[in-house]
Amino acid sequence: MEYRIEHDSMGEVRVPAERFYGAQTERSRQNFRIGVGRETMPEEIIHAFGILKCAAARANHRLVPAKMTAAKLVVIEAAAQEVIEGHLTDEFPLVVWQTGSGTQSNMNANEVIANLANRLAGERLCHPNDDVNMSQSSNDTFPTAMHIAAVLLVEKELLPSVGRLVDTFRRLEEANAGIVKCGRTHLQDAVPIKFSQEISGWRFSLERDIELLERSLPPLRELALGGTAVGTGLNAPEGFDEAVAEEISKLSGTAFAASPNKFHALTSKDELVFAHGAMKALAADLMKIANDVRWLASGPRLGLGEITIPANEPGSSIMPGKVNPTQCEKATMVAVQVLANDVAVGLAASQGNFELNVFMPVLAYNFLQSARLLAESIESFRIHCAEGITANREKMNENLHRSLMLVTALNPHIGYEKAAKTAQKAFAGNLTLKEACVSLGYLTAEAFDKVFHPEEMA
């Protein structure tokens, strides 16, 4: 491999000749060989850095054109656009396990954009620190990148995927209107419920999760950029924070604004904790829905068997014909990961010491993993499972009429205690409720038939 010699404030560094990144990126690459190739900085953060570096150059050109000249702006914009479009992913090799401020990843972006800009200019026109990082600090760029990445992933991927699953459940409600089945509480038989009502519970839970996620977005739209090193805005021109937020909004296609308090923005990560809490709520609901589906589909002969789900692949290497609820299992595993990530996010956010939080890379990694996993898992569950759910009406009807909790319909006519004795006698003697009630002398057969209508109990 051929190398070139780059230098930074600490001296000279050998860098692979074909790479756009420079000395500080290479130092980090050598110093933090932890999770290489597996736990690199998320692509969403790299994309966000492309947006904010382009936006910063535009804002600087507007406010300090003598420093950010038109010539510099043109090539920085072009280089940043390459980052935004994902063409330079290999130029961002750094892992999450680096400095807690994300300084090396900020410098990684500065070096890549500066060196590519210089190649486009045909001369050494741009410096990573003086030009690409103008009016910025790692301390305000990394939290800004986190917020940009979080908003874009939640708004453009997670929320739409949840919305599509809501639509699927709404269609299933309509398709299964009028089907009455046995309800269940404590994993025990309960009074009847319409299958459409059961599905509506799933659908409304997701609609509430959408509402919670949407409530979490406005605080995330406030950006730290403009606070520079400690929140005072040192070395940034007046109005830079508002100008750069305006440019980020244009580039990203969604609204962002300057944080009204940069001291808070640099050290507190409560906006991300709040948003991840909404994702945790979604994960909890996803766990519940997926478990309901696989329990209802259990069998096919010795389980509940009240619904059928798509058979996507063979379920056993030894038992021929076995099919498992794999989409449900995948969804519940994702839910477990998100619930675990919430612990990491909360702990990382608690480490805002004095003027800076220094657990930001791990916070970003876990937050973005949760959002990405949920979006992709929900879409997979919808396509490969939920869309194919069908009701086994005969099994639902059979289970409904075998349920001893239908005795609840007799409460107004014979009272709670006699109804309980009816259920107990029916269970002990393997009798129908009608047979038990009549044998106990509580109702005649004709009176029983007059008041006992399971389908009307839902």
User: Could you list the active site residues?
Assistant: 186, 316
Q: 321: buried, middle or exposed (CB in 10 Å: 19+, 13-18, 0-12)?
A: exposed
CA distances from 87 to 83, 150, 247 (A): 6, 21, 22
Q: Is 89 left (phi over 0), alpha (psi -120 to 50) or beta?
A: alpha
The tokens of 297 are what? 């589909």
Closest CA to 53 of 101, 103, 113: 113
Residue 60 sits at the vertex; the CA angle it makes with 57 and 64, to the nearest 5 degrees, is 145
Amino acid sitting at position 251: L
Cβ-based neighbours of 151, under 8 Å, separated by 6 or more: 217, 220, 221, 252, 254, 256
SS3 17: coil
- Nearest 10 degrees: CA dihedral of 421, 425, 426, 427? 100
Q: Report d(CA 191, CA 454) in Å as an integer.
A: 9
- Specify whether the CB–CB gap between 249 and 256 falls below 8 A: yes
Cβ-based neighbours of 256, under 8 Å, separated by 6 or more: 147, 148, 151, 221, 222, 223, 245, 248, 249
- Specify whether the CB–CB gap between 158 and 213 falls below 8 A: yes
